[in-house]
């Protein structure tokens, strides 16, 4: 079975124990956020390596890296062959900055498009423009499942339902 299928079967398993899935996603979101924060510090540097090497580089499990590669693929300059990649497949994290920002908006992940590292890449006006362009395009990416009682992926330490899971305006809304 391919790595991607193994990851998706595990992460999107409707019949899995709810607590196990919650822990998996809480863990994933934290690591995902850290990797993006790292990547955004040097946005013009292409990070490349085998799936295993990148997992080691960021100190995460192989399957978490597979999930990350699944999530970032639509934002890359050249998508990776995620469907049949193996541990030793060379992959690239060379992302398109505008596309990545917009995809984070489309996924409703304000803890990602709100990362402070973006401020060194795009000024406030540009972030606003990209945000509104994405909202106006009507393209919605299926957000990953977060349960109300999960810790919020933004890292506030609050429950998701009390933090970013609350319906409210964010900083780009007038
Ligand atoms: Zn939050």
Summarize pLDDT for 120-143 with one digit per residue, the tens: 999 999 999 999 999 999 887 776
Q: What is the pTM of this model?
A: 0.90
Give 130's contacts (C-beta < 8 A, 6+ positions apart). 98, 101, 102, 105, 122
Helix, strand, or coil (residue 25): helix
Q: How far is the CA of 164 from the CAs of 64, 110, 113, 149, 160, in angstroms?
A: 23, 8, 13, 12, 6
- 66-125 per-position pLDDT tens digit: 999 999 999 999 999 999 999 999 999 999 999 999 999 999 899 999 999 999 999 999
Q: Are 43 and 29 in contact (CB under 8 A)?
A: no
Q: Where are the domains of the chain?
A: 3-162
Q: Compute the distance from residue 155 Cα to the ligand 1 centre, in Å.
A: 6
The DSSP 8-state label assigned to residue 61 in this structure reads: -
Q: Compute the distance from residue 156 Cα to the ligand 1 centre, in Å.
A: 6
Q: Compute the distance from residue 161 Cα to the ligand 1 centre, in Å.
A: 9
The DSSP 8-state label assigned to residue 95 in this structure reads: B
DSSP letters spanning 149-173: TSBPTTSSSSBGGGTTTS----TT-
Q: Compute the distance from residue 163 Cα to the ligand 1 centre, in Å.
A: 4
């Amino acid at each position: 079975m391919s790595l991607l299928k193994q990851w998706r079967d595990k992460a999107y398993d409707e019949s899995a124990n709810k607590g196990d899935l919650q822990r998996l996603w809480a863990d994933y979101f934290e690591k995902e956020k850290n990797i993006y924060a790292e990547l955004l510090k040097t946005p013009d540097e292409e990070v490349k390596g085998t799936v295993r090497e990148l997992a080691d580089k960021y100190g995460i499990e192989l399957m978490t890296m597979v999930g990350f590669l699944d999530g970032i693929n639509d934002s890359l300059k050249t998508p990776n062959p995620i469907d049949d990649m193996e541990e030793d497949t060379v992959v690239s994290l060379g992302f398109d900055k505008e596309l990545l920002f917009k995809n984070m908006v489309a996924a409703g992940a304000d803890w990602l498009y709100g990362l402070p590292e973006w401020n060194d890449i795009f000024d406030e006006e540009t972030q606003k423009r990209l945000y509104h362009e994405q909202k106006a395009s009507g393209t919605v990416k299926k957000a990953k499942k977060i349960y109300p009682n999960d810790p919020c992926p933004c890292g506030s330490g609050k429950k998701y339902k009390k933090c970013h899971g609350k319906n409210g305006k964010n900083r780009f809304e007038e």
